[in-house]
Structure 1
Amino acid sequence: MAQIGKVAVIGAGVMGAGIAAQVANSGTPVVLLDIVPPGAANRNAIAEGAVAKMLKTEPAPFMSKAAAKLVTTGNVADHLDLLAECDWIVEAVIERLDVKQALYAKIEARRKKGSVVSSNTSTIPLAKLTEGLPESFARDFVITHFFNPPRYMRLLELVTSAKNNPDAVRVLTEFCDYRLGKGVVPCKDRPGFIANRLGVYWLQTAVVTAFAMGLDVEDADAIIGKPFGVPKTGVFGLLDLIGLDLMPHVNASMAASLPPEDPFHAMNRPAPLIERMIKEGYTGRKGKGGFYRLNREMGKRKEAIDLKSGDYRAQKKARVEAIEDSGKSLTKLFEHDSVHGRYAWTVMSETLTYAAMLVGDAADEIESIDEAMRLGYNWKSGPFELIDKIGVDWFVARLEAEGRAVPPVLRAARGKSFYRVEDGKRQALTLSGDYKTLHRPEGVLLLADVKLTSKPVLKNASASAWDIGDGVLCFEFTSQMNSLDPDIVTLLGKTIELVKKEYKALVIYNEGSNFSVGANLGLALFAANIASWNDIQGLVAMGQITYKTLKYAPFPVVAAPSGMALGGGCEILLHSDAIQAHAETYAGLVEVGVGLIPGWGGCKEMLARWQRANRLPRGPMPAVGKVFEYISTATVAKSAAEAQEMMILRPGDAITMNRYRLLFDAKAKALKMAGNYKPPEPATYVLPGPSGKVALDMAVDSFVRLGKATKHDRVVSGVLAEILSGDGTDPTETISEDRMSELERTGFMKLIRNSDSLARIEHMLETGRPLRN
């Protein structure tokens, strides 16, 4: 098999349509087919409807509207001949063996020779799916189990057979890795594979135990949440997200396919309250609510269900003494003499013991199980990494003290840990009790691995600089949520000077959830409350100088963002020579949301990008109008592809689909640029002057009259209009970059002194939401 150039997805339900969207996001043409609806005038209505719905869905399955144009819709009655053009055919229809096998016979008659066919099933074994079908079909058939939603969930479980062509499996794996951005985890052909086998058991155990112990759902979610590195939804919030009505089907499937001795059966108990909720339409976020709901009849009051009475009540903020008393110690949490401590131990000891049982069954390697839970359920640490944090010996001793069975891999780990670092290399324990070295795939470079064998070249409380080899330095934010503060700006300045002397290039990158959420608002509010205006102005000036030094440094600077890159974080992207962005980068200049304007060069850099673009009519006003629109509305690109459309990413910038490959790609780009690097030419600007400001003000006034903008929006936008129009500048003259920086600095200081802006900052810090004043 050569390469995958075109894909087909059969089944345009939520999952199938989502898979098709992610294929299109990769830039690959995809055919999406479904049945002909009975009596429908439009025979392609289901597939076409799925695409139309995805274009309106939030969070969006498509990374850009342009991606949707790569989807060709059709139906299985009229368009199966299109399969002859496809290198990979994904089946995502109803979980019924007879329906799937009937479809496979039709696929086999029309597909091209050597094309891969896969099922997205999570419940039917591969051997069953291919039973009775031709050998030629079985040779090319695998299971590719995506997680929902396919764009955002990074796990793809791959089940193959001894009959498969190894070359075809390699090509498919590489496509899913490089092009779709998936962490491909090989699995054995077992019920539920890895992530759902363990994840469903974890969820079921947490629910059953919460009912048995009479816990409040908020407390249960707090306990089985942050302490264990589980997303803040916890368990009940996650079930609301998944859909309560889905779980009985999943549980029934697991119960039917797992052997009688499997511990899942003991936890698969009926829950009359959940059955009643489903019957009444309380199926979670997609329904009228679930364990949590928004009561619109009581002023959008947030409510939670009482597991004992079955009635809704006002949602409370969880204050769990067991968590507060234990600090970050999981053993102290487990030992806490309270119902909450007992809940934590019961749920997690059952879950972690079950994970240990799966070694040799669902997967042979502990690292596969850990990776599946990290990528499939967004756990920060896999189950074996959690056991290492708890302490293997402590964990085993408590199991034995309670008379519980200890799985073989736990016995093999006694006196050891599941992971260790030996000679600078991470190793994992095997079922035999030996260790094996873990090797990253080619093209994967992680800062976490660099840290195993080296110390930072520079470091302070909020940032570090690391030598990542070949003459490239990596600058890393380490503050809370990677918010930007004076320490980061100071160390960035020192890093620039160091690279000048000793290195070829600089990459700005980190492995946090977000690249940077912007400037530290708490520090800004504190300084404003004590009227420390000189300090604030000094920080603004320092940031401008440092970012300008970064832009004109005599070496290439590559920014490698992932997650949110907002405000000052976005401004770092704008001052870099190149951007190598993870596909899931959400970038924008959002300062107006807190009553401010970009003060570290965001206005001038966005304006320079749009003035150089060939997308707009000639003259100063079109570019000014576009930049004003984005900044005044705090527009955030919801993908790297959208950031390209907004000109945050330029045509020469690049996108990496797989998060694990981002640093490697950024480093390669930096080294390629270093060969014959020349700093950019200084920018100059032609601005529209007073008439341009009037036009911008009139646009804002109309939004205020329509109720789409507030009184203070007018004030903030007025300052932004002053900057972008040039504050009285003659439209026939050019102004310098330094003058643009001065306008930004003046505008920022004017707004930081405004009490309404300070109210916005305070509200954002307290609630995490913008104040509409």
Structure 2
Amino acid sequence: MPGIQKAAVIGAGTMGAAIAAHFANAGTPVLLLDIVPGAAAGAIAKMQKTDPAPFMSSTAVKLVTPGNLEEDIAKLVECDWIVEAIVERLDLKQDLYRKIDAVRRPGSVVSSNTSTIPLAKLVEGLPESFARNFLITHFFNPPRYMRLLELVTGPATDPALADGVARFADIALGKTVVRAKDSPGFIANRLGVYWLQCGVIEALDAGIAVEAADAIMGRPFGIPKTGVFGLIDLVGLDLMPHINASLAATLPQGDAFHAANRDLPLIKKMIAEGYTGRKGKGGFYRKGAAGREAIDLATGDYRPVQKADLPEAKLRDLRALLSAPSPAARYAWRVLGQTLAYAATLVPEAAEDITSIDEAMRLGYNWKFGPFELIDKLGADWLAEKLAAEGMAVPPLLAAAKGKSFYTLTEGQQNYLGTDGAYHKLTRPEGVLLLADIKRVSKPVLKNASAAVWDIGDGVFCFELTSKSNSWDQQNLEILGKAVELKPKALVLYNEGAHFSVGANLGLAIFAANIAAWGEIEKLVAAGQQVFKAMKYAPFPVVAAPFGMALGGGCEVVLHADAVQAHAETYIGLVECGVGLVPGWGGCSEMLARWAAAPGMPRGPMPAAAKVFEIVSTATVSKSAAQAKELLFLRAEDGITMNRDRLLADAKARALKLAENYTPPTPPTYRLGGEAAQLAFESAAEGFRARGAATTYDMVVSSNLATVLSGGPADLIDEVSEQDILALERAAFMRLIKNEGTLARIEHMLVTGKPLRN
């Protein structure tokens, strides 16, 4: 992207190194420096073994150049953006800034990743020219996966420079940039740490078990199931005292945080004994000899985890939940009531408006709803009255919302309540197109219980899966088939679920198998093949826009698209062998065609088929869209969008470009190895089994896959059609679905979510 051609990160600790890796993920060369010689190179090597991986591909690794401050600081003159990510000490940071300022190019950006030190302190005593180019860019950990970036500017910061950084962070780094005020803790950590602190002390005061606390404070409110104590374990108990101390030292005396910032001997004891959370020996939860254990907050002893049976947690009415007479419900009210009230005090001190607070908590703490969205669910008046009835302060912003909601919808336009008491339009950045916005102002072109088709403008239709986990079934196949028959200018495959698609609906498959409805199963397999091929050879272009998991049938529909515009975090693969099946909707034929045409792939009946056999038999899933290109689930020319909110707009633009001079593809033919190839594949699988890498039933599945990829039982097949491969897929699928070993694998996957190694 113009403006930021090369970056630098100073500080090769966990956070600094991961920020450097993410610049590289965006295709930006980056210099990683540390005061300790060799530390940067060591950090790069360590990140290549880290899981979850900071790097999206092996190509990204090569874009990071290690160095040290002593020998390489002069190289900062080459960099457009320099990120400081060293220890949280003001004196050390200011000393480093003076050294940076002596060598950097005038006009280059310098930012700090600090989460605790105010910007005004950071630039105090430094030249005005430095302050003009300085800002805080607070990345959340891990930088590759957490979308939130808090951006803080000072009075001297050049607004154009800040806008340029925000745009680069948005488009190139995939961040949602939230503008925060220069106040302690900024937004997400200011509110998030307060919420966690309330969660701990209220549980201690009320004698609530950690399991009950996490169950009641998690999913009922759209908060991840880790709840309070599970999240602290994930973040690290040892970080909490440092963050609390920083906030306590910088927040004004009247701030509500001080009342929640108690000395907690139990946590001190846990940290001293190495119980710092998941990175230590355990935390509030740990793995014991007999299974998972939880700490007893009263005694400090560990005991087996107990299932929290909380009927009130199942209530859909959040007011009823928070008003229930049980200790757990009372705990939830105490924590959430204080948290929502505190959120209302942070506008405009920490953020300009309520939307910034909500966005920060949705992205920084993975809340499904921001605090003001939760207030709307409860009712601002109800919350204010309940706070007042319990002698708790009602913030002025909440009192000013009397008789109103914080968000409104007028003729499809979302609006939010400002501090001036008026409603303001909620606008999207240029280049952002959300299906949710389209759905608010239009009706679907086609719809049933499992899918819908939407007109997204300019003659382009969007096919949306709406089934559970976006799994494929007869109903959404029918809608996709009808969408193809409508012949739009172009079609985009996209949805806004948690994942693009987890594949075929295994629950329906096992139900049909249990009643021996083999004809219905074969009809579904044939229908999928027919619809996907109709889509592939339609007289208009189809662009798939996958994100998250695109597995099994979700991968196969992507393989059939003319082009793909994938989110960077797309995990794609043909995983059918893991549940005792083979790809049945054309996945084998599409992968054979790709690998046969791959640059450098030797010609002949074996090389491409052998590569596909290796990938499919091991149920290989890419760990990013970039890695998906290496596996040929995506082609070299397929696009990658870093920002999830820009995916639909990018896919639509790609579809319109293809529609200008579109010609459907020509069906491929294959040269495969017949019986000789079958034997070779089975021999390779036997080698895996001998080494303990494959099970007995893996051999059965692999043999059926080998039959498909070898082209059938002939000695040598000179030419095989696409339809021939589809027939082999269908036959192999039906043989396996009738096998007890496959049914056991499917049942195990449905019950546990994990593959059965039978």
TM bin (shorter chain): over 0.9
Query: 1:511, CA displacement in angstroms?
Result: 0.8
Are the counterparts in 2 of residues 323 and 333 from structure 1 also a CA contact under 8 Å? Answer: yes
Of 232-241 and 60-69, more deviation after overlay is shown by 232-241
The answer for the alignment partner of 2:421 in structure 1 is 433
- The one of 399, 403, 406 aligned to 1:415: 403
Aligned-partner SS, 2:606: helix
Structure 1 residue 336, shift from structure 2 partner: 1.1
Residue in 2 that maps onto 1:262 = 255
Which residue of structure 2 lines up, in the alignment, with residue 39 of structure 1? none
The alpha-carbon deviation at position 424 of structure 1 amounts to: 2.1
| Aligned counterpart in structure 2 of residue 695 of structure 1, from 659, 680, 697 | 680
1:436 & 1:713 partners in 2: Cα distance?
59
Cα displacement (A) at 1:561: 0.9
Residue 55 of structure 1 is matched in structure 2 by 48
Question: Are residues 1:250 and 2:240 paired?
Answer: no
Partner of 2:73: 80
In the alignment, structure 1 residue 340 sits paired with structure 2 residue 358 = no
Provide the rounded CA distance (Å) in 1 between the counterparts of 2:120 and 2:103.
Answer: 22
**TM-aligned CA distance change 1:730 to 1:684, over 3 Å:** farther
Instruction: Return the offset for 1:481.
Output: 1.2
Decide whether the 8 Å contact of 2:676 with 2:715 is kept in 1: no
Q: Deviations over 1:700-748 (max 9, x none)?
A: 1111111111100111111111110112245351111111000000000
Paired residue type of 1:454? S
2:301, 2:215 → 1: CA distance? 21
| DSSP 3-state at the match of 2:70 | coil
1:708 to 690, 693, 699: 693
Instruction: Map 1:21-100 onto structure 2 (within 5 A).
Output: 21-36=21-36, 43=37, 45-100=38-93
| Cα distance in 2 between the residues matched to 1:171 and 1:432 | 29
CA contact (8 A) 1:599 1:744 kept: yes
Verify the 8 A CA contact 1:518 1:567 in the aligned structure 2.
Answer: yes
Is the 1:611–1:620 Cα contact (8 Å) retained in structure 2? no
Query: C-alpha deviations, 1:610-654, integer Å up to 9, x for none?
Result: 111113222121111111111111111010001111111111110
Using the TM superposition, give the Cα deviation of residue 364 of structure 1 relative to its aligned residue in structure 2, in angstroms: 1.8
Q: Tell me the equivalent position of 1:446.
A: 434
Which residue number in structure 1 is paired with residue 213 of structure 2?
A: 220
How far apart, in 1, do the equivalents of 2:305 and 2:584 lie?
A: 39
**Which residue is equivalent to 2:12?**
12
Show the counterpart of 1:761: 746
CA change 1:526–1:51 in 2 (3 A) is: same
TM-score by length of 1: 0.97
SS at match of 1:384: helix
How far off its partner does 1:380 sit? 1.1
Matched, 1:366 2:354: yes
Q: Distance in 2 between matches of 1:49 and 1:385?
A: 44
Give the Cα–Cα distance (whole angstroms) in 1 for the partners of residues 164 and 421 of structure 2.
Answer: 33
- Report what 2:310 is aligned to: 320
- Structure 2 letter corresponding to 1:4: I
- Whether the aligned pair in 1 keeps the contact of 2:541 and 2:659 (CA below 8 Å) is yes
Q: CA–CA distance in 1 between the matches of 2:668 and 2:435?
A: 34
Q: Do the aligned partners of 2:376 and 2:406 also contact (CA within 8 Å) in 1?
A: yes
SS in 2 for 1:385: helix
Where does residue 122 of structure 1 map in the other structure?
A: 115
The one-character-per-residue Cα deviations of 1:267-310 (angstroms, maximum 9, x if unpaired) are 11122222111111111111111111122x44xx1222222222
How far the C-alpha of 1:2 sits from its partner, in A, is 6.0
Distance 1:610 1:721 in 2: 16
Q: Deviations over 1:49-69 (max 9, x none)?
A: 100010000000000111010
Contact 2:711 2:717 in 1 (8 A): no
- 2:729 is aligned with 1:744: yes
Pair 1:463 & 2:456 matched: no
Q: How many residues align?
A: 758
Paired residue secondary structure (1:371)? helix
Pick which of 686-695 and 181-190 moved more: 686-695
CA distance in 2, matches of 1:225, 1:599: 39
1:673 to 630, 640, 658: 658
Distance in 1, matches of 2:287 and 2:366, equals 25
For structure 1, list consecutive stretches of 5 or more residues without a partner in the other structure.
Answer: 37-42
Partner of 2:299: 309
1:248-647 pair list within 5 angstroms:
248-295=241-288, 297-298=289-290, 301-324=291-314, 326=315, 328-498=316-486, 500=487, 503-647=488-632
Q: Specify which of 191, 198, 219 is matched with residue 191 of structure 2.
A: 198
Counterpart CA distance in 1 for 2:344 and 2:715 is 73
**Are the counterparts in 2 of residues 412 and 432 from structure 1 also a CA contact under 8 Å?**
no
Show CA shifts across 1:305-351 (max 9, x none): 22222222222333212113x2x211111011101111111111111
For 2:553 and 2:688, the matched residues in 1 are separated by 27
Does the 8 Å CA contact 2:545/2:565 hold for their aligned counterparts?
yes
Q: Which 5+ residue runs of structure 2 have no aligned equivalent? A: none
Deviation string, structure 1 residues 369-417 (Cα, Å, up to 9, x no partner): 0011111111111111111111222212212222322112212211111
CA distance in 1, matches of 2:126, 2:324: 57
C-alpha distance in structure 2 between counterparts of 1:160 and 1:731, whole Å: 69
C-alpha distance in structure 1 between counterparts of 2:155 and 2:221, whole Å: 38
Q: 1:131 pairs with 120, 124, 140, which one?
A: 124
Q: Matches of 1:413 and 1:129 in 2, distance apart?
A: 37
Cα distance between partner residues in 2 of 1:171 and 1:581: 25
- Structure 1 residues 518-568: Cα deviation after superposition (integer angstroms, max 9, x where no partner): 111111111111111111111111111111111111111011011100111
Indicate conservation of the 8 Å contact 2:532/2:560, yes or no: yes
Whole-Å Cα distance in 2 between the matches of residues 610 and 162 of structure 1?
A: 56
CA distance in 2, matches of 1:729, 1:76: 66
Shift of 1:167: 2.1
Aligned residues of 2:293 and 2:303 also touching (Cα < 8 A): yes
- Contact kept? 1:123, 1:254, Cα under 8 Å: yes
Pick the aligned partner of 1:140 from 99, 112, 133: 133
2:404 is paired with a residue whose SS is: coil
C-alpha distance in structure 2 between counterparts of 1:757 and 1:217, whole Å: 39
State which drifts further: 136-145 or 307-316: 307-316
Match of 1:160, as an amino acid?
A: T
Is residue 2:646 matched to residue 1:661?
yes
Aligned partners of 1:221 and 1:234 also within 8 Å: yes
One-letter identity of the residue aligned with 2:352: D
Once the two structures are TM-superposed, the CA of residue 216 in structure 1 deviates from its matched residue by 1.8
Which stretch shows the higher mean deviation, 24-33 or 328-337?
Answer: 328-337
What is the one-letter code of the residue matched to 1:306? D
**Structure 2: how far apart are the matches of 1:334 and 1:192?**
28
> Secondary structure of the equivalent of 1:733?
strand
Q: Alpha carbons of 1:730 and 1:538: their partners in 2 closer, same or farther (altered >3 Å)?
A: same
How many angstroms apart in 2 are the aligned matches of 1:80 and 1:304?
48
Q: What are the Cα deviations for residues 581-631 of structure 1, in whole angstroms up to 9, with x where unaligned?
A: 000111101111111111111111111111111132221211111111111
TM-score, length basis structure 2 = 0.99
Partner of 1:40: none
Determine helix, strand or coil for the equivalent of 1:200. helix
**Partner secondary structure for residue 5 of structure 1:** coil
